[in-house]
Structure formats: structure tokens, C-alpha cells
Amino acid sequence: MEPAATSELIAASMDTPIAAMADFDKVVELYWSRVFRFVLSSIRDRDAAETLTQDCFMKAYRARDRFRGDSSVITWLMRIAINLVRDYGRNRRLQFWKWVRSSPVDTATIGDWIPDRGVSPEARAVLGNQIEKVWQATADLSDRQRTVFVLRFVDDMDLLEIAAVTGLTEGAVKVHLFRALQSIRNRIGSL
């Protein structure tokens, strides 16, 4: 997912979160793509995802003096991002014109983005079809289930990290994840 050098930098900054906040340009450099990936996977609208990611870093930037380092920088950023995505979802439901104006990306082609693993074209087509189904099933999940699923299986967070960023207990995270996986598994059918 992350290049090795970036991962090391992330790990290093997570050890000293307050020190990491001192150089905010570095924070943007390290975490921008992760936050953007989470937001875009959640709302599936590139323009809105870019705006929300900027808002996320803007909020973090303005509140950086209040950051006490109780959690890692990425946990803190993800918490802000989750709130922004949730608020965006609420506003979107309320404001129909936003939906009309938005330019959602063509998510029907997500299966075309399978990295080349040297598999046969037939196997690739089957895999692409399954990924499409996962993508569609993810859209039908509840907001909380989708958030937990994306954090676990797109952002690769462990259960405790997910609990920290969502404010849920570890048990609740497992339950939401289980329900999400069940829906997705049923949508895929036989593997």
C-alpha cells in the first residue's frame, strides 16, 4: 500500500506525534493520500473528496496547537475525516441540489484497476467481476458498517485502531465488520 520509505516515516512520526505536528507540511505529505483514499472510497465523488480532504487537513492545521499527542497523528486525522464524511452524508441527504450538481466518478470500472499479478485474462475477468460486486455491496452498507469495512480492508487498520478512530468499542467494531462482511460475501456468491 504505502511505499516502504513512507511507511517508515509514518511509523517514526507515530512514535512522537507532537513532534510530527511541528512540521505540518510533513504531516500533509505523509497522510494526504491515506485520508484522501478513505474519503473517496466512502463518498465516491472525486471533487467532494478533494474538498473534504482539504477541510480535514485545514481543521487539523487550525487545531494543531490543541493536539496533545494522546493518539497518533493518523488516528487524529482519520477521526476528523470520519466526522466530515458523516456530515457530508447528512448534508447530501438534505440538499438534493448537491446531488444534482455533483459529478460522481464512474465506479462501475473499479474492477478494471486490478494490479497486474500475472494472472490469466480469464482469472482477471472473474476477479474483476467479484471486485465490482464488493464495491456495489459496500455502497449498500450502513454508514458505520462502510466506515469500519473501508478502514479495515482498504486502509488496513487493525481493530483497535478502528475502535480509536470511530469511538466504538472493539466489540462493536467486530460486530459492524461481521455484518459488512456477511452482506458482501452474500453479494459475491460462490468464490
Partner 1 sequence: MKHHLSREQISGILAGIATPEEEQHVSVCIECNLELARFRETLTCFRDSVTEWTDREGGSALPDAAFLENRSFALRVRRLRWVLVTASLIVLLAVPFYKLRNDQQREAQALQDSLLLEEVNAHISRTVPAPMEPLMELLSDVYIEEPGGRQ
Strands (E), the chain: none
What is residue 190's DSSP assignment?
-
Please report how close the Cβ of residue 106 comes to partner 1 at its closest, in angstroms: 10
Contact 39, 82 (CB under 8 A): no
Q: Does position 37 bind partner 1 by CB under 8 A?
A: yes
Q: Choose the binding region for partner 1 from 7-15, 79-87, 93-101, 174-182 (rule: CB under 8 A).
A: 174-182
By CB under 8 A, how many residues form the interface with partner 1? Answer: 43
Figure out which of the listed residues 28, 71, 79, 92 binds partner 1, where binding follows CB under 8 A: 28
- Sign, CA dihedral 21-32-94-147, equals negative
What is residue 69's DSSP assignment?
S
Cα 46 to Cα 51, 114, 148, 172: the distances in Å are 9, 19, 21, 30
Figure out which of the listed residues 10, 46, 79, 92 binds partner 1, where binding follows CB under 8 A: 46
Q: Does position 145 bind partner 1 by CB under 8 A?
A: no
Q: What is the helix (H) or strand (E) element at residue 126, kind and residue range?
A: helix 121-139
Q: Does position 139 bind partner 1 by CB under 8 A?
A: no
Q: Does position 16 bind partner 1 by CB under 8 A?
A: no
End-to-end CA distance of the chain: 24
Q: Does position 140 bind partner 1 by CB under 8 A?
A: no
Max Cα-Cα span within the chain: 54
Judged by CB under 8 A, the chain residues 56 through 85 that form the site for partner 1 are 57-58, 61
Q: Which residues bind partner 1 (CB under 8 A)?
A: 1, 24-25, 28-29, 32-33, 36-37, 40-41, 46, 49-50, 54, 57-58, 61, 105, 110-111, 113-115, 127, 130-131, 134-135, 153-154, 156, 159, 174-175, 177-178, 181-182, 185-186, 188, 191
